[in-house]
A and B are shown apart, each in its own frame.
Chain A
Amino acid sequence: MDSLTRRNIMLENYQNPYHRGLVQADDYLLFNTNNESCIDNLDIQYQLKDGIISDIRFDGEACAVSTSAASLMIKTFIGKTKPEVLEILDNYEKMLSGKEYDATKLGELIVYEDIGKQPNRKRCAYLPFESLRKVLQKM
């Protein structure tokens, strides 16, 4: 994937993010990123049903990288089982930390490959994913 395509995917997900806006429902788990970052403030909701992540929503204010990453994260993980989430998340974390990873598992998340190499942007690309680790414990 060339850098222009990558940028366009990020930009599209920043300007028209998927599943933006929270729902009022008791069966969603809510996580906030505010305690992890001074400036980005995202709320992320997860609905777990029948062993899969059946829905994810988000809202809040964050930079273009974090916002687009939230959108792409949501697209990637809805409908996934615990082992599937783990496999993708592991590879995503490896990619951001410059370790060897399996690109075929990541789909469009691959667009953050270069950003992971910039220390100040790496956090932004990972921010929406931090809550996934906590969600895994509930699955």
Chain B
Amino acid sequence: MHREDFEILNTGIIYLDNGATTLKPKCVVDATVDYYTKYTANAHRGDYDNSLKVDMLYEGVRDKVRDFIHAKSSKEIIFTSGTTDSLNRIVFGFMKTHLKKGDEVLLTKAEHASNILPWLELEKDVGVVVKYIPLENHQVVLKNVLESITDKTKVISLAHVTNVLGDERPIREIGCLCQEKGIYFVVDGAQSVPHRPVDVEDLHLDFLAFSAHKMLGPTGVGVLYGKEELLEELHPTIVGGGMNATFSSEGSWEYKSLPSRLEAGTPNIAGVIGFGAALDYLMKIGMENIYQYECSLKKYFISQLETIDNVIVYNKEVGGSTVAFNIDDVFSQDTAIYLNHYHICVRAGNHCAKILKEDLQVKNTCRASLYFYNTKEEIDSVIRVLRQSKDIFRIVL
């Protein structure tokens, strides 16, 4: 779908590393460049035309994000530098002041480093206790979530879709459960928001973090969604220009209201405006259409991989758009280098989920992650190359 909008595809690459970052359509690049070439100005400042235009466009993107994830208010949308930044702000801006020693935080071993390390830091700082929900065949099941909850459980923080296996968690059910039990529910949406419809109200999320660059947008832009009453209590972890209402030399100060209070300094204006173009583009295609297309493409990919004897697939039963595999007896990095020889881009490694190996018993995998611009023809090419992998070391060495 829509391959003509992605100039980079003319170079002949088969890009299957969308879990890391996606390609950018021309409209996103144009929107970013236009800001630099046609109406550069800072946001929230001057009274001249270009500055007012920047304000209008920048705040317009906030409204687009609100609509995209079905938030109640634009005040619930904070622009950050990415998912990692968003999660850090949730942990150190909110949880640090709302949790106390002995409170329990539930994660899983399949989480991305960004959803584990901040909590481990908080464990050291405040004395919260980080616990891991046991996985069932590498996946989260409601029963295990229920059994992991104690009187001390204050937070559940999970990826909606994991970045290694691409499995989707029962987020809505967990969201309802958290609401019922008064547990804060934090969701890492980096691998879900780009690929399917997400409705924060319907899913009962307290916080959601995601990145623009994994959904056609520029790098360096992310979103922190939080329920308004929670964001009101989120302490700014960065303070300075643009977010203060008044301050005096005697040491008294007052911060602005949401969302400005949480966006200190000049934001990534070009990036946010580019992100707006990405959102328009995605909404035009339709997130449900993207989801359905990717699911069927993944099924096709798996069915073809299964015809190759020496390829092991680790997530056959999982839906979504990620395929984790290895060639038997070949180190994942060698497979990635071999595929690169044929201009096929995949990722090898542990995908920033270093403790998943404790559960998966496999340290490293090749990850092919799809997006809507990938095609069956591309999959066929990958299969052809994998089928002739007997000569892999002639290529790799």
B300 on the interface (CB 8 Å rule)? no
Known contacts A61-B331, A61-B363, A63-B337, A7 near B349 by CB under 8 Å? no
Of the candidate stretches B32-40, B73-81, B389-397, the one touching chain A is: B389-397
Number of interface residues of B (CB under 8 A): 14
Interface of chain A residues 1 through 52 with chain B (CB within 8 A): 7, 10-11, 14, 38-41
Chain B positions within 8 Å of A39 at CB level: 332-333, 348-350, 364
SS class, residues of chain A in contact with chain B: helix
A70 on the interface (CB 8 Å rule)? no
Known contacts A38-B350, A39-B333, A39-B349, A61 near B364 by CB under 8 Å? yes
Chain B positions within 8 Å of A67 at CB level: 331
Q: CA–CA, A14 to B364, complex, Å? A: 18
Q: CA–CA, A93 to B85, complex, Å? A: 38
Chain A positions within 8 Å of B364 at CB level: 39, 61
Q: CA–CA, A102 to B364, complex, Å? A: 37
Among residues of B, the one whose C-beta sits closest to the C-beta of A64 is B334
Which of the residues B349, B350, B363, B397 comes within 8 Å of A64, measured between beta carbons?
B397
Known contacts A61-B363, A61-B364, A38 near B349 by CB under 8 Å? yes
Report yes or no: B397 in contact with A11, Cβ–Cβ below 8 A: yes
A135 on the interface (CB 8 Å rule)? no
Among residues of B, the one whose C-beta sits closest to the C-beta of A6 is B397
Interface of chain B residues 332 through 362 with chain A (CB within 8 A): 332-334, 337, 348-350
Q: CA–CA, A120 to B332, complex, Å? A: 15
Report yes or no: A63 in contact with B331, Cβ–Cβ below 8 A: yes
Report yes or no: B393 in contact with A11, Cβ–Cβ below 8 A: yes
Interface of chain B residues 376 through 397 with chain A (CB within 8 A): 393-394, 396-397
Report yes or no: B348 in contact with A7, Cβ–Cβ below 8 A: no
Report yes or no: A41 in contact with B363, Cβ–Cβ below 8 A: yes
A62 on the interface (CB 8 Å rule)? yes
Chain A positions within 8 Å of B348 at CB level: 39
A73 on the interface (CB 8 Å rule)? no
* Nearest CB of chain A from residue B257's CB, rounded to whole Å: 42
Chain B positions within 8 Å of A64 at CB level: 331, 334, 393, 396-397
Report yes or no: B393 in contact with A63, Cβ–Cβ below 8 A: no
Which of the residues A7, A14, A38, A63 comes within 8 Å of B394, measured between beta carbons?
A7
Q: CA–CA, A4 to B10, complex, Å? A: 34
Question: Which residue, B331, B337, B397, has most C-beta atoms of chain A within 10 A?
Answer: B397
A53 on the interface (CB 8 Å rule)? no
Report yes or no: A10 in contact with B397, Cβ–Cβ below 8 A: yes
Q: Which residues of A contact B (CB under 8 A)?
A: 7, 10-11, 14, 38-41, 61-65, 67-68, 120-121, 124
Which 9 pairs, one residue from A and one from B, show the smallest C-beta to C-beta distance? A63-B333, A39-B349, A10-B397, A7-B397, A63-B331, A63-B334, A64-B334, A11-B393, A64-B396
- Given known contacts A7-B397, A64-B397, A68-B397, what 9 new A-B pairs fall within 8 Å (CB)? A11-B397, A14-B393, A14-B397, A38-B350, A62-B331, A63-B333, A64-B393, A120-B337, A124-B333
Give 29 pairs: A residue, B residue, CB < 8 Å, sorted on A. Answer: A7-B393, A7-B394, A7-B397, A10-B397, A11-B397, A14-B393, A14-B397, A38-B349, A39-B332, A39-B333, A39-B348, A39-B350, A39-B364, A41-B363, A61-B331, A61-B363, A61-B364, A62-B331, A63-B331, A63-B333, A63-B337, A63-B396, A64-B334, A64-B393, A64-B397, A67-B331, A120-B337, A121-B337, A124-B333
